[in-house]
């Protein structure tokens, strides 16, 4: 995400909402009029032309300056009243003596995106008739001169996206007609206490992403305020309760500050229009007050990342319009809050309904809830105990109950949901017959539980399945060849169970047309693989950027919904980003596979990760490995491989981790930057490798220690897997789900906004 999206996303949403739904942008720059330009006005403009890059064809001395591009004159007096020089890359500073300040009748001035440098000159105060001032996206720096207070006719002022520093001049209190004030994305410090209460006409005040420290104690006089965004500043102190007395306020974002103490909505106006409240990432504490029910119009509530404790009051169920509630990362206890979910209203931005209660200490599910259209329910990392209640089935999109103490068996009806995450609980029994009645299931993560028995054959009815992770259970079964018929299965993790038998069966059609990540490590699989074994996995040989591959693998992570693309999983993890962009991996390590490594492995040209360590593979390393040009990790350690390391592997430029240790390899080690950057221990315990000086250093010479020798300390460091890819593969969660739906909408509106 870009800085503006991650840091200021809600603020911009507010602005956009304001723009698009309430105040269609007025066309402030009217078409040129027929009045004749006065000489002093023309001369001032020509002075300015020298400072700015203005197209000379239009700004021509011998024509009426009122007809020049960007210039609008007063019909009667012939004075310039509006000047729009947006996107003229002036690359200069505005001098005090600039011709601009002679245009004293200006009402509208737009110098946004002009690359203006230096300070705002104090002669700005000369333009005392200004009603609209646009200076966004310049390199303007330093403090704002206090003479700006002379512009007491201002209705709109935009100083956003600059490098302005220091305090806001007290003279801002003169802006009694100001309706919209944008100060966001600057480096302002100090307080807003003296200024804000006097901006009595303001409807929208946006000052997010600055370093403001103090906040006004009484803002209840701002009767017209609609939206206020002070997120990502350095505010400290108590909850600014006076803001809640403003009944016109609809959007309030004070997230990412250091406010502290309890919150209280006791004085909240009974006619509060507040729709969106974001107090996340502060140090608010105490309990969530009963008085929260006064915010009856809320559709979005974010109190995440604070220190709220105790149970959530039942009165929260009176917030009948809620679409989004995020209470994650607090110290909340007791029952999972009971929220009433109304049916969706397509005329609003927030149509996805999400509830995030993760990272708290909730201990019970409470009574059955009417889940209706709930898209996401995240109660992961709490203290939930006992069985999973049946009523929880039917969360439409993501149900995350991972990292709790849930026990009992897995309810069959969970396949009503698309994505079910039950990782790290104490669930027992065998996997139920999923997808008998409902085929929605796309991903199922039941890793790190106590499941036994076999994988139910009914899983092949889950025709939409993309990801199956049963890692870390006690499942005792043979290799599920039959899963090969699942057309979309992309990630299959059977790691650390009691699977046994061969992974090749001459009579079983392998299938797995879309498999991109397979981890069957640490089981008891045996047997050898035919030479063409890997030839049957089409997905792994497809380049990620081919449309076909994108269509299917991409579909695993995206969902198409109401024309908006939704990222399902936590896209923030670096390793995960790799997977998301087409990462392909095979981990067969820690089994008893034997025979040759099939030469057909070279066909998997898109493979990034290959771990065959800890098996009983014999004979030569197939030279075709050199054809896997994208390979990043290659671990063939702890086998019985013999012969030479194929020289072609030296050409693999992405290879960052190589391990050939504990085999019977001989001959010259390939010379390449990649080999040169390996740890010496990656070659230890082989019978006759040489040419290792450039890896192990001169002192070690050719004497790569064998296990019988005492390796020196630098050689015996534990083998760290370079890429913890599988952790990333399964560490998916609903994290950014809601954010991105909205983010997408935001992007399109942002576009509209900037070009309008």
Ligand X SMILES: *[C@@H]1O[C@H](CO)[C@@H](O)[C@H](O)[C@H]1NC(C)=O
CB 665 within 8 A of CB 645: yes
Phi, psi of 237 (to 5 degrees): 95, -175
Q: Which position among 276, 328, 417, 449 is part of the footprint of ligand X (CB under 6 A)?
A: 328
Given candidates 51, 64, 218, 264, which one binds ligand X under the rule CB under 6 A?
A: 264
- Torsions phi, psi of 123, nearest 5? -65, -5
In the complex with ligand X, the residue whose CB is nearer, 201 or 241, is 241
CA dihedral sign, ordered 30, 36, 38, 39 = positive
Among residues 138 and 356, whose Cβ is nearest to ligand X? 356
Scan residues 432-471 and list those touching ligand X (CB under 6 A): none
633 binds ligand X, rule: CB under 6 A: yes
Q: How far apart are the first and last CA of the chain?
A: 24
75 binds ligand X (CB under 6 A): no
CB of 641 to ligand X, least distance (A): 15
Q: Which is nearer to ligand X, 412 or 447 (CB)?
A: 447
| Cβ at position 37, least distance to ligand X in Å | 14
Q: Which is nearer to ligand X, 633 or 672 (CB)?
A: 633
Buried b (16+ CB within 10 A) or exposed e, 326-341: bbbbbebbeebbebeb
591 binds ligand X (CB under 6 A): no
By CB under 6 A, which span of 456-464, 523-531, 537-545, 715-723 interacts with ligand X? 715-723
Can you tell me the distance from the alpha carbon of 68 to that of 42, in angstroms, rounded to the nearest whole number?
A: 10
Report which residue's Cβ sits closest to ligand X.
149
| 657 CB-near residues (< 8 Å, 6+ apart) | 632, 633, 634, 635, 678, 721, 722, 723
Question: Among residues 696 and 730, whose Cβ is nearest to ligand X?
Answer: 730
Q: Which positions from 226 to 245 touch ligand X by CB under 6 A, shown as an x/- string?
A: ------x--------x----
With 0-12 CB in 10 A as exposed, 13-18 as middle and 19+ as buried, what is 62?
exposed
Closest to ligand X by CB, 435 vs 738, is 738
d(CA 741, CA 23): 24
Q: Residue 706's CB: how many other CB atoms inside 10 A? A: 12
Q: How far is the CB of 313 from ligand X (least distance, A)?
A: 16
Instruction: Select from 112, 138, 227, 280 the one that contacts ligand X (CB under 6 A).
Output: 280
- Considering only residues 267, 390, 505, 706, which one is a binding residue for ligand X as defined by CB under 6 A? 267
Q: Which is nearer to ligand X, 273 or 460 (CB)?
A: 273
Q: Please select the residue that binds ligand X; options are 5, 152, 315, 335, rule is CB under 6 A.
A: 152
Q: Which is nearer to ligand X, 419 or 424 (CB)?
A: 424
Q: Which of 22, 30, 50, 60 binds ligand X (CB under 6 A)?
A: 60
Considering the complex, what minimum distance in angstroms separates the CB of residue 713 from ligand X?
A: 20
Q: Which of residues 196-215 bind ligand X (CB under 6 A)?
A: 198, 209
In angstroms, what is the minimal distance from the CB of 485 to ligand X?
Answer: 28
Sheet holding 524-528, edge to edge: 500-502, 524-528, 592-595, 616-619, 640-644, 664-668, 688-690
Minimum CB distance to ligand X, residue 358 (Å) = 8
Contact 471, 451 (CB under 8 A): no
CA-nearest of 436, 443, 426 to 458 is 436
> Which residue(s) pair with 586 in the sheet?
518, 610
Letters for 103-132 (x = contact with ligand X by CB under 6 A, - = none) are ------------x-------x--x------
Tell me: does residue 307 bind ligand X (CB under 6 A): no
User: Cβ of 342: how many Cβ atoms within 10 Å?
Assistant: 15
Among 67, 227, 360, 589, which residue sits at the site for ligand X (rule: CB under 6 A)?
589
Q: Using the rule CB under 6 A, give the single segment among 55-63, 508-516, 523-531, 744-752 that binds ligand X.
A: 55-63
Pick one of 41, 417, 611, 615: the residue that binds ligand X (CB under 6 A): 611
| Residue 545 structure tokens | 């950027």
Q: How many residues bind ligand X (CB under 6 A)?
A: 74
Q: For residue 99, count other CB atoms closer than 10 A to its CB.
A: 18
Residue 412 or 425: the one with the smaller Cβ distance to ligand X is: 425
**Smallest distance from the beta carbon of 76 to ligand X, in angstroms?**
22
The two tokens of residue 734 are: 């609903």
Of 411 and 571, which has the nearer Cβ to ligand X?
571
For residue 581, the minimal CB distance to ligand X (Å) is 20
Residues 341-370 that bind ligand X (CB under 6 A): 345, 347-348, 354, 356
Q: Which is nearer to ligand X, 138 or 442 (CB)?
A: 138
* 21 torsion bin: left (phi>0), alpha (psi -120 to 50), beta (else): alpha
What is the DSSP-derived secondary structure letter of residue 30? P
Alpha-carbon torsion (140, 146, 147, 153), positive or negative = positive
Residue 521 to residue 221: CA distance in whole angstroms? 66
Classify residue 621 as exposed, middle or buried by CB count within 10 Å of its CB (0-12, 13-18, 19+): buried
Identify the residue among 89, 454, 551, 671 touching ligand X (CB under 6 A). 89
Q: Are strands 524-528 and 500-502 parallel, antiparallel or unpaired?
A: parallel
Using CB under 6 A, pick the residue from 23, 53, 318, 338 that binds ligand X: 53
Of positions 447, 521, 661, 678, contacts ligand X by CB under 6 A: 521
Least separation in angstroms between residue 88's CB and ligand X is: 8
Q: Which of 582, 599 has the CB closer to ligand X? A: 599
Residue of 20, 46, 139, 194 that binds ligand X (CB under 6 A): 194
Q: Which three-class secondary structure state does DSSP give residue 413?
A: helix
Q: Which of 392, 655, 738, 745 binds ligand X (CB under 6 A)?
A: 738
C-alpha–C-alpha distance, residues 430 and 453, integer Å: 5
CB of 242 to ligand X, least distance (A): 7
What are the start-end ranges of the H helices in 453-543?
538-541
Per DSSP (E only), the strands in 568-654 are 585-587, 592-595, 609-611, 616-619, 633-635, 640-644
Within positions 159 to 178, which residues make up the interface with ligand X, using CB under 6 A?
Answer: 170-171, 173-174
Output phi, psi for 159, to 5 deg: -115, 15
- 342 DSSP assignment: P
Report the 10 Å Cβ neighbour count for 39: 9
Binding to ligand X (CB under 6 A) within 370-429 occurs at 376, 381, 403-404, 424
Q: Which of residues 530-569 bind ligand X (CB under 6 A)?
A: none
């Amino acid at each position: 995400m870009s800085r503006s999206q991650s840091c200021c996303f809600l603020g911009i949403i507010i602005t956009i909402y304001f723009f698009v739904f309430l105040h269609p942008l007025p066309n402030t720059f009217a078409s040129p009029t027929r009045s004749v330009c006065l000489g002093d006005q023309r001369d001032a403009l020509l002075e300015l032309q020298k400072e700015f890059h203005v197209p000379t064809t239009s700004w021509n001395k011998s024509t009426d300056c009122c007809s020049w591009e960007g210039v609008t004159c007063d019909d009667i007096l012939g004075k310039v009243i509006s000047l729009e020089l947006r996107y003229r890359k002036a690359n200069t500073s505005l001098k005090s003596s600039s011709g601009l300040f002679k245009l004293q009748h200006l009402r509208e001035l737009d110098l946004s995106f002009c690359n203006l440098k230096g300070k705002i000159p104090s002669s700005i105060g000369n333009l005392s008739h200004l009603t609209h001032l646009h200076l966004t996206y310049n390199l303007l720096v330093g403090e704002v001169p206090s003479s700006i207070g002379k512009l007491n006719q201002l209705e709109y002022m935009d100083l956003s996206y600059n490098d302005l520093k220091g305090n806001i001049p007290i003279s801002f209190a003169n802006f009694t007609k100001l309706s919209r004030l944008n100060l966001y994305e600057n480096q302002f410090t100090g307080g807003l206490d003296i200024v804000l209460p006097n901006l009595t006409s303001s409807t929208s005040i946006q000052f997010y992403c600055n370093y403001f420290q103090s906040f006004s104690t009484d803002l209840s006089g701002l009767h017209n305020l609609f939206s206020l965004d002070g997120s990502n500043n350095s505010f400290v102190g108590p909850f600014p309760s006076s803001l809640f007395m403003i009944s016109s306020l609809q959007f309030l974002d004070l997230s990412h500050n250091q406010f502290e103490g309890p919150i209280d909505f006791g004085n909240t106006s009974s006619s509060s229009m507040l729709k969106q409240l974001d107090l996340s990432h502060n140090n608010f504490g105490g309990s969530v007050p009963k008085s929260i029910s006064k915010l009856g119009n809320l559709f979005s509530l974010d109190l995440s990342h604070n220190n709220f404790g105790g149970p959530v009051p039942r009165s929260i169920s009176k917030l009948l319009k809620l679409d989004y509630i995020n209470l994650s990362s607090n110290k909340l206890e007791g029952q999972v809050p009971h929220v009433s979910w109304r049916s969706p209203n397509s005329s609003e931005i927030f149509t996805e309904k999400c509830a995030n209660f993760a990272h708290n200490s909730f201990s019970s599910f409470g009574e059955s809830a009417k889940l209706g259209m709930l898209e996401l329910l995240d109660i992961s990392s709490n203290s939930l105990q006992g069985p999973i209640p049946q009523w929880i089935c039917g969360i439409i999109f993501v149900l995350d109950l991972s990292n709790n103490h849930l026990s009992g068996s897995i309810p069959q009806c969970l396949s009503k949901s698309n994505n079910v995450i039950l990782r790290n609980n104490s669930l027992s029994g065998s996997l139920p017959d999923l997808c008998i009645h409902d085929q929605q299931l796309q991903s199922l993560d039941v890793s790190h539980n106590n499941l036994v028995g076999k994988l139910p054959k009914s899983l092949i009815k889950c025709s939409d399945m993309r990801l199956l992770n049963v890692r870390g259970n006690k499942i005792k079964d043979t290799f599920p060849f039959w899963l090969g018929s699942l057309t979309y299965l992309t990630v299959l993790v059977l790691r650390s169970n009691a699977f046994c038998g061969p992974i090749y069966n001459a009579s079983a059609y392998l299938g797995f047309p879309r498999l991109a990540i397979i981890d069957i490590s640490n089981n008891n699989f045996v047997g050898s693989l035919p030479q063409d074994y890997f030839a049957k996995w089409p997905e792994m040989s497809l380049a990620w950027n081919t449309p076909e591959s994108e269509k299917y693998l991409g579909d695993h992570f995206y969902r198409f919904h109401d024309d908006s693309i939704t990222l399902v999983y936590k896209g923030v993890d670096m390793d995960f980003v790799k997977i998301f962009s087409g990462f392909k991996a095979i981990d067969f390590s820690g089994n008893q596979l034997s025979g040759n490594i099939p030469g057909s492995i070279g066909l998997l040209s898109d493979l990034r990760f290959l771990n065959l360590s800890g098996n009983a593979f014999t004979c030569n390393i197939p030279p075709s490995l050199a054809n896997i040009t994208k390979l990043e990790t290659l671990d063939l350690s702890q086998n019985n491989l013999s012969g030479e390391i194929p020289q072609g592997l030296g050409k693999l430029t992405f290879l960052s981790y190589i391990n050939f240790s504990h085999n019977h390899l001989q001959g010259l080690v390939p010379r390449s930057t990649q080999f040169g950057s390996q740890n010496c221990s990656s070659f230890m315990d082989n019978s006759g490798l040489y040419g290792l000086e450039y890896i192990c250093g001169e002192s070690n010479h050719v004497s790569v220690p064998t296990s019988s020798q005492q390796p020196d300390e630098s050689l015996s460091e534990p083998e760290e897997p370079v890429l913890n890819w599988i952790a990333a593969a399964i560490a998916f969660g609903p994290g950014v789900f809601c954010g991105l739906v909205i983010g997408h909408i935001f992007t399109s509106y942002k576009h509209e906004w900037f070009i309008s």
